[in-house]
Structure 1
C-alpha cells in the first residue's frame, strides 16, 4: 500500500473518531439538559402523585408526565400533549398567572369523553406545571343533583296543587255535606301521597349520601322477609291479593334491618300495585353458593323491554296514570337499588308483558368467623 493511501486511511479514521466523539458529547449534553429540566428526584415525587402531573415545555410538548397523566389521556410518555392543555399553558404564560379549566378528553373514536380539571402554573419562561384530576364523576353527580331538584319540584307540585284546589272547592261548597265528604276523602288521599313522597325523598337522599350502615347487624333473612310481608299485607288485602311466602333456605346476612325491610316491602308493594285484583304474589327466600336471594314474583301486567333498563331510575314510571291512581311516587324501585348497593348487593328484574315480573334482591350470606 502506497504512503498516500496510508495517510488517507489515518486521516479518515481520525475524522470518524472526531465525529463520533462530537456526537456523543452533544447527546450527553442534551441528556444532561433534559435531566436538568426535570431532575430525577422531582420525577420520583411526580410519579407517586394520585393526580396527573405534567411539566409542559414552550414547544407544546411535555418534558415529563407521570403515569396518571397518561391514564387521564392528557399526555403520553413520548412527550405528546393534549392540545387543550397546551392551549391553557400558553394562556397561563401570556397572563403570567395560574389558570384553571375543565378539559374534555376523548378516549378512542367511539369512546365517551372524560372531563378533567386542569390547573396550569407557569414556573418560568420555558416550563409550566399542570396538575390534572378526573372531574367526570363530580360532573355527573352535579348533573344528577340538578335533575333531582327539578324532578322533586315537579312531583311536589301535583299533590300540593290538588290539595289547594280541593280545599277551595270544599270552602265554596261548605253547605253541601255530601260534596264535603267526597272531596275530604280525596284530600286525605293526596295528603297520604304527599307524605309518602316526602318520606321517600328523605330516604333516597340519605341513601345517596353514601352514609355507612350504622345499624348493621347479623339478621335472619327469612325474619326480615316476614316483617316486610306483614307490612305490605294491609294494601294487599285491600285489593284481595294473596301474599304467599316460600322459605327454601334460612340464610343470615349482615345489614340494616329497617333499610332491608323497607326495600323488600317496596318490591312487594310494587308487585301488588301492578297485579290484578284477586291475584297472587309469591315471595321466596333461597341461598346458593354464598349468595342469599329474595324473589318477588307477580303475574301482573309485566314490563315492556324498553322500560326494564330504566325502572330503577328516580321518578321513572312505566305507567304514570296507574301510578297516580295507586299513589306511586316513582321512587320505590330507586330506593330498592340504593339499599342493595349500600349492602354490597344487587337487584335485578325479569319481566314479560302480559305474563308478569320477578324482582330478585341478592345479598352475601354472612359467614361467622371461626
Structure 2
C-alpha cells in the first residue's frame, strides 16, 4: 500500500473519530442541558402523577415527559411531541398565560383517535408545563347522556300525545257511551305504557349510576328463575303461550334477588311478546365448568343479524310496529345487559329469523348442589 493511501486512511480515521466524539459531546451536552432544565427531584415528582406531564421546550420538543404522557400518545421518550400540544405551547407563550384545550391523539395501526384534555402553562420564556388527561370515556359518557335525554323525550311524547288526543276525543263524544268506553280503554292502555316506560327509565338510570351490586346474597338460581316465570305467566296465558321450565342443574350464585328476577322476567316477557299464539317458551337452568346459565328459548319471529348487533341498546326495537302493539319500551333488554354486567356476568343472543331466539344469561357459580 502506497504512503498516500496510508495517509488518506489515517486522515479518514481521524475525521471519523472526531465526528463521533463531537456527536457524543453534543448528546452529552443535550442531556446535561435537559437535566439542568428539569432537575432529578422534579422528574421524580412528575413521574408519580396520574396525569400526563410534559415539560415543553421552545424547539417544540419535550425536555421531560412521564410515562402517562407516553401512554396517552402526546410525547415519546426521545423527546418527540404531539404537534397539537406543541401548538398549544406556542399559543401559551404568545398569550403569556395558561390555556386549555381538547386535542385528538391518533395511536396504533388503526389510528383510532383518543380525546385528551391539555392544560399548558408557561413557566418562563423557554419552558412550558403541560398536564394532560384522557377525556375519551367522559366524552363518550356525555354523548351517551345527551342521546339518552333525546331518546327519553321522544319516547315520552308518543304516549303523552296519545293520551291527550284520546282525552279530547272522549270530551267531544261525551254523549256517546259506547265511544267513551272504547276510547277510555285505549287511554288506560297508553297510561300503562307510560307508567312502564317511566319505571324502566328510573330503573336503568339507577343501574347505570352504580358499578356493581352492593347487596348480594347466596341464591338458588332455579328458585329465582321460578319466581320470574310465575310473574310472567299471566301475560303468557293471555296470549296462549306455554311456559316450560327445564331445570338441569341446581347452582347457587351470589347476587341481588330482585335484580335477577327482573332480568329473567324481562327475557321471558320479551320471548312471549315476540312469539305466536300457542307456541312454547322454554326457560332452562344449567351449570357447566363453574358457570351457571339461564337460557330463554322461543320459537317466535326471530331477529335479523343486523338487529341482533344492536338489540341490547337503549330504546332499540327490532320491530317498532310490533313493539308499539305489545307496549314494548325498548329498554327491557338494555336493563338485562346492565344487570348482567353488575353481577360480573354476561347475556348473549342466538337468533334465526322464522326459527326463534335464545337469550343466554351467565353467572359464576358459587356452589353446585346435588
Normalising to structure 1: TM-score of the pair? 0.92
- What displacement does 1:367 show? 4.7
Structure 1: gaps spanning 5 or more residues: 1-14
What whole-Å deviation, never above 9, does each CA across 1:115-137 have from its counterpart, x for those lacking one? Answer: 00111111111011111111000
Distance in 1 separating the partners of 2:22 and 2:70: 35
Are residue 52 (structure 1) and residue 89 (structure 2) matched?
Answer: no
- What displacement does 1:110 show? 2.9
What does residue 181 of structure 1 align with?
A: 181
Sort the Cα spacing of 1:324 and 1:24 in 2 relative to 1 into closer, same or farther, 3 A.
closer
What does residue 328 of structure 1 align with?
A: 328
Sort the Cα spacing of 1:108 and 1:180 in 2 relative to 1 into closer, same or farther, 3 A.
same
User: Retained in 1: the 8 A contact 2:251–2:367?
Assistant: no
SS at structure 1 position matched to 2:129: strand
Aligned length: 356
What does residue 307 of structure 1 align with?
A: 307
What does residue 7 of structure 2 align with?
A: none
Distance in 2 separating the partners of 1:116 and 1:22: 40
- What displacement does 1:26 show? 6.1
Distance in 1 separating the partners of 2:21 and 2:129: 35
What does residue 111 of structure 2 align with?
A: 111
- What displacement does 1:198 show? 0.2
Structure 2: gaps spanning 5 or more residues: 1-14
CA-atom RMSD in angstroms: 2.1
The answer to which of 313-322 and 32-41 deviates more is 32-41
Distance in 1 separating the partners of 2:225 and 2:346: 16
1:164-313 correspondence to structure 2 within 5 Å: 164-313=164-313
- What displacement does 1:32 show? 2.4
What whole-Å deviation, never above 9, does each CA across 1:52-95 have from its counterpart, x for those lacking one? Answer: 11110000000111111111111011111101000001111111
1:130-169 correspondence to structure 2 within 5 Å: 130-169=130-169
SS at structure 1 position matched to 2:358: strand
Sort the Cα spacing of 1:188 and 1:59 in 2 relative to 1 into closer, same or farther, 3 A.
same
Distance in 1 separating the partners of 2:23 and 2:142: 56
User: Retained in 1: the 8 A contact 2:62–2:79?
Assistant: yes
Distance in 1 separating the partners of 2:232 and 2:20: 88
What does residue 72 of structure 1 align with?
A: 72
What does residue 83 of structure 1 align with?
A: 83
- What displacement does 1:195 show? 0.3
Normalising to structure 2: TM-score of the pair? 0.92
The answer to which of 28-37 and 245-254 deviates more is 28-37
SS at structure 1 position matched to 2:284: strand
SS at structure 2 position matched to 1:351: strand
Sort the Cα spacing of 1:124 and 1:239 in 2 relative to 1 into closer, same or farther, 3 A.
same
- What displacement does 1:27 show? 5.6
User: Retained in 1: the 8 A contact 2:212–2:343?
Assistant: no
Sort the Cα spacing of 1:26 and 1:306 in 2 relative to 1 into closer, same or farther, 3 A.
closer
Sort the Cα spacing of 1:92 and 1:243 in 2 relative to 1 into closer, same or farther, 3 A.
same
SS at structure 2 position matched to 1:97: coil
What does residue 349 of structure 2 align with?
A: 349
Distance in 1 separating the partners of 2:18 and 2:60: 35
What does residue 99 of structure 1 align with?
A: 99
